[in-house]
A and B are shown apart, each in its own frame.
Chain A
Amino acid sequence: MKIIKEKHSLVMRWTHWINFPILGIMIWSGLLIYWANHSYSISIFGFTLFRFFPDSFFTFLHIPYRLAEGMAFHFLFMWFFALNGFFYVLYTLISGEWRQLIPQKNSFTEAWQVILHDLHIRRSLPAQNKYNAAQRIAYTAIILMGFGSLFTGLAIYKPVQFYWICWLCGGYHFARILHFALTIGYVFFFLIHVVQVILAGWRNFSSVISGFEVIETSQKVHGEAGNNSDDPA
């Protein structure tokens, strides 16, 4: 028989899907701003490995000469990004859902096993609750990264009025690098996240919209949701 298993709370689902386009707009408008002085690159011994970004990348995305526009969008959507994130964190703390989210003592060793499993090197998965160890680490990290973006963003935005934030970020120049690096981090997170969601399948994806998963159980076992481990995504 079928059983409805509650998985994601309403607040988690709303804030997740609200964050998605807002973060997209923040990254896009951030690029409009960054282009005006696109000076970052990765170099080893004076040899440039990668330039952020090649000119073709900027032209393809229609980025150049839109600094004023970029700032106007960035400084509006920063409010929604901050409020949505603040609301999510507040809810997660009050509801106790943070217990399912933050990494535990053994999460770091287990996460390694999860990675090996996902890469088809290891057969079994460690026992897990709502999120596996790798997810706990990734999803907690992304929240911290969001806070980091706000913090470094404020350091860049008002380096004189919030001089202490700027100081904590290692100065104006370094705050900009951190702010940029965090954005690159989001892009990597997004890529891995999407691949994992696709691998985990429709049922898992659907639960982030509907909030529940349907679980088929054998007829005799009443009301027991089974020990189905949730798919990682």
Chain B
Amino acid sequence: MKNQIDEKRDNNAVDKKIKRRSFIAYLTFLTVGLSAFEGWKWLYHAPSETPGVTGRARKPLRAALNKTESFFKQFFSPDHLVKTYPKSWAAKNVRVNSDIGMTDKNFNPENWSLSVLRSDTDVLKISLKELRELPKTEIVFDFKCVEGWDQIQHWGGVKFADFITHFRLEAHTGMAYVGMKTPDGKYFVGLDMESAMHPQTILAYEMNGQPLIPQHGEPLRLIIPVKYGIKNLKRIGTISFSNQRPADYWAMRGYDYYSGL
């Protein structure tokens, strides 16, 4: 008799415990689940950032992109080189993905010269001939597009670091950014100085050993293997230096500003 009463009391205690633990567990599950869902809705419908040097990304996501960038920048080293390939591996049919900034029908490469803004009032003009007289650097590497395709390509031109030394622009490399623009100003990129000065960054005037053709940025384009294709500006018109981020075409359209590889 006494045993049976004990058992009943035990059973009640277990029942109570089951109820209490289940209640707490399910309440937590539902509360956290609902808050997570609300959090997601907030993020998904978060307003766009104020348009500026970057644009069109949700405000919190832009902040996250910038934070992530500063984290991964720590791993950047000029000694980390992009893998190179033999020339015979390079694509003969080099992919063309964009002509933004190159639609001006009156553009004549014969009259072109590169403008380097040493200051707002001091513009250095450089002809293609002058650039061709500098030591040539060639690179065969896997060009990577932000869209996801990649292609082994062969480019030749002046190493950006050599260009800086030759035209005595060293003082400007103390600044944080380099900006580049097409002559019509319709395509433009901003680059952090470390990436621009990376030993594999070149101002290219040749593709597959031949002078650049119009759709690949004749007469001079940027090849920067430590960045996605979107930063590899075709038909360079002006180069400038600054401590603020220069405007960047695709960063203004929701892409990461750094876009480093």
Contact = CB atoms under 8 A, between A and B. Distances in A.
5 contacts: A2-B11, A4-B14, A68-B254, A72-B65, A161-B261
Interface string B1-42: 000000100110011011001100110010011001000100
A209 B25 contact: yes
How large, as a class, is the contact surface on chain B?
A: 35 or more
Contacts of B168: none
Interface residues of A, number: 40
Contacts, number: 110
B211 interface: no
Nearest to B251: A68
A1 B10 contact: yes
Label chain A's interface by main secondary structure. helix
> Which of A39, A166, A210 has the most CB atoms of chain B within a 10 A radius of its CB?
A210
Interface in A9-38: 17, 21, 25, 33-34, 36-37
Interface string A75-86: 110010000000
Given A21-B36, A72-B64, A3 B14 contact: yes
Contacts of B81: 160, 163
Interface stretch (A109-117, A131-139, A211-219): A211-219
Interface in B130-154: 142, 144-150
Contact of A36 (B58, B64, B148): B148
Given A36-B148, A67-B146, A172-B144, 6 more contacts: A1-B7, A39-B149, A68-B253, A69-B254, A160-B225, A161-B80
Interface stretch (B69-77, B99-107, B111-119, B171-179): B69-77
B126 to A, nearest CB: 28
Interface in A140-185: 157-163, 166-167, 172-173, 176
A218 to B, nearest CB: 12
Interface of B: 7, 10-11, 14-15, 17-18, 21-22, 25-26, 29, 32-33, 36, 40, 56-58, 61-62, 64-65, 68, 72, 75-77, 80-83, 142, 144-150, 225-226, 250, 253-256, 260-261
Contacts of A36: 146-148
Nearest to B250: A68
Contacts of A3: 14
Contacts of B29: 17, 209
Given A73-B61, A163-B80, A211 B144 contact: no
A158 B260 CA distance: 7
Interface in A168-208: 172-173, 176, 206
Nearest to A1: B11
A67 B254 CA distance: 9
A160 B226 contact: yes
B15 A209 contact: no
Interface of A: 1-4, 17, 21, 25, 33-34, 36-37, 39, 67-69, 71-73, 75-76, 79, 157-163, 166-167, 172-173, 176, 206, 209-212, 214, 219
Contact of B7 (A72, A159, A176, A219): A219
Nearest to B74: A161
Contact of A71 (B22, B56, B255): B255
Contacts of B145: 37
Given A21-B36, A67-B147, A68-B57, A2 B82 contact: no
A129 to B, nearest CB: 23
Contacts of A158: 72, 75, 260-261
B25 A210 contact: yes
A2 B15 contact: yes
Contact of B65 (A75, A167, A176, A210): A75
Nearest to B57: A72
Contacts of B72: 157-158, 161
A214 B18 contact: yes
A173 B150 contact: yes
A219 B6 CA distance: 12
Nearest to B39: A21
A63 to B, nearest CB: 14
A210 B40 contact: no
B148 to A, nearest CB: 3
